[in-house]
Amino acid sequence: MSVSDEDIAFAKELFEGVGHLTTRKMMGGLCLYSDGTIFALLYSDGTLFIKAQGDFIDEVKALGCTQWTYQREGKDKPTAMPYWTLPEACLDDPDEAKALARKALSYL
């Protein structure tokens, strides 16, 4: 399944103004970049993920975000990626989403 045009438009609008925003479709999803740095993903089901590293991980955990994991064939444990679900509040408030994106970028 690929990401829908509506979901792409929503993500672009949500993060509009977070640097020079560009996107790239990859593996059925979409990568979002600010000034050439990837900071978020849009999964094919419409879920938005924010990249978190360092101390920012504790902050996104405190916001109730969950880490993106997937199961590789032939592996016993899931593989964890450095992307965390965007908090529900951010989906309804572009200012909060942009603030979180800028914070994520400050750790990259």
| Alpha-carbon distances, residue 4 vs 14, 19, 25, 41, 49 (angstroms) | 15, 23, 11, 13, 16
Distance CA 18, CA 29 (A): 20
Q: What is the mean pLDDT of residues 18-27?
A: 93
The domains of the chain are located at 5-106
**Assigned CATH topology for domain 5-106:** Yope Regulator; Chain: A, (3.30.1460)
- State pTM to two decimals: 0.90
* Nearest Cα residue to 91 out of 43, 57, 29, 47: 47
Bigger pLDDT: 98 vs 72: 98
pLDDT at 2: 86
pLDDT at 27: 81
Give 47-93 pLDDT, tens digit per residue. 999 999 999 999 999 999 999 998 888 888 999 999 999 999 999 99
